[in-house]
């Protein structure tokens, strides 16, 4: 850069549900002083708005017609990643079972993806030191020129065990089936499906602890910054 400041580093972290994207991305961003963007929260926020406003989730054209209406604002501080819709804090409501069961249908609508992708690119452009952006299509579509792309995986059993631990006693088999159903929907949609970018580094987290995954990603970012 002209004034000698380092070029912002852009890190894309993708993968299926429960592989550890959010926990890893937040910790890596905090450790390296970078911004953090949870793109799943943005798709959940627009889904919450559709549900709250009585939009028929089974009707893609009804969703497309109003996709531009809600104003979604994401805070990118890794210690406090906020999300509001039209000024209302929706951090809690976007995590309900109802939103989780409907988010794949809403996020498959091309007009929704175009809207949210624009927000994501604008936030990534404005990150002064750099940003860790996590989702499903970041490395393939949103930020194809990211400096580093990571694709996290884990067995469905490990992911279900992690999620049911989080949901305090939820049935592991039912959780596993719900995860697989959402992954299938997210991977098979026509517009920017969940996919590993050709130049992404795949990290299988099945047998790794969260601190081990964080350390692995921090090392990869530091190597990239050092030009290795
Ligand atoms: N390597 C790991 N070992 C054990 N538990 C983990 C590991 N990584 C993440 N977890 C735990 O698994 C749960 C899911 O992690 P997280 O929310 O980060 O996944 P995610 O990929 O962002 O999921 P989603 O896409 O559904 O938002 C959390 O409770 C987290 O603490
Ligand atoms: N880049 C993204 C991020 C998320 N989605 C959709 C698909 C997910 O099932 C849903 C919720 O994401 P989560 O909070 O579980 O990370 O949002 C997407 O299509 N593209």
pLDDT of res. 130? 97
* Higher per-residue pLDDT: 125 or 225: 125
Angle at CA of residue 210, ends 208 and 214, nearest 5°: 100
Residue 195 CB neighbour total at 10 angstroms: 16
Average pLDDT over residues 101-110: 97
Report field, pTM of the whole predicted structure over 0.90: yes
Distance 19 CA to ligand 1 centre (A): 5
Q: Is pLDDT of 2 > 50?
A: no
Ligand found nearest the CA of 159? 1
CB 120 near ligand 2, within 6 Å: no
> Pick from 215, 143, 155: which is nearest to 179 by CA?
155
Per-residue pLDDT reduced to its tens digit, 67-104 = 999 999 999 999 999 999 999 999 999 999 999 999 99
C-alpha pair distances (Å), 26 with each of 12, 69, 141, 177, 227:
12, 29, 21, 27, 23
> Pick from 42, 129, 136, 137: which is nearest to 81 by CA?
42
Atom of ligand 1 nearest to the CA of 152: 21
pLDDT of res. 3? 54
Per-residue pLDDT reduced to its tens digit, 175-191 = 899 999 999 999 999 99
Ligand found nearest the CA of 135? 2
Q: Which residues line ligand 1 (CB under 6 A)?
A: 15, 17-23, 40, 162, 166, 205, 208-210, 213
Q: Is pLDDT of 15 > 80?
A: yes
Distance 221 CA to ligand 1 centre (A): 20
Atom of ligand 2 nearest to the CA of 189: 19
Q: Residue 64's pLDDT band (boundaries 50, 70, 90)?
A: very high
Distance 150 CA to ligand 1 centre (A): 15
Average pLDDT over residues 41-52: 98
CB 107 near ligand 2, within 6 Å: yes
Domain boundaries, given as residue ranges, for the chain: 7-221
- 7-221: CATH, from 3.30.70.260, 3.40.50.300, 3.10.150.10, 1.10.443.10: 3.40.50.300
Average pLDDT over residues 197-220: 98
ipTM: 0.98
Per-residue pLDDT reduced to its tens digit, 190-201 = 999 999 999 999
């Amino acid at each position: 850069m002209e004034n000698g400041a380092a070029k912002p580093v852009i890190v894309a972290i993708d993968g299926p549900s429960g592989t550890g994207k959010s926990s890893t991305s937040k910790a890596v961003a905090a450790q390296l002083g970078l911004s953090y963007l949870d793109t799943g929260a943005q798709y959940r926020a627009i889904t919450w708005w559709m549900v709250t406003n009585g939009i028929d989730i089974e009707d893609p054209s009804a969703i497309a017609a109003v996709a531009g209406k809600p104003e979604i604002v994401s805070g990118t501080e890794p210690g406090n990643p906020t999300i509001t819709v039209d000024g209302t804090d929706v951090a809690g409501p976007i995590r309900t079972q109802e939103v989780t069961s409907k988010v794949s249908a809403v996020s498959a609508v091309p007009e929704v993806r175009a809207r949210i992708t624009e927000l994501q690119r604008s936030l990534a452009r404005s990150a002064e030191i750099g940003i860790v952006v996590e989702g499903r299509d970041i490395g393939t579509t949103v930020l194809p020129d990211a400096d580093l792309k990571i694709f996290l995986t884990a067995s469905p059993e490990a992911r279900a065990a992690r999620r049911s631990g989080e949901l305090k006693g939820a049935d592991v088999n039912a959780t596993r089936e719900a995860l697989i159903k959402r992954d299938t929907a997210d991977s098979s949609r026509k517009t920017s499906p969940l996919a590993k970018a050709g130049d992404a580094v795949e990290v299988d987290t099945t047998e790794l602890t969260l601190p081990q995954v964080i350390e692995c990603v921090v090392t990869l970012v530091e190597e990239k910054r050092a030009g290795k």
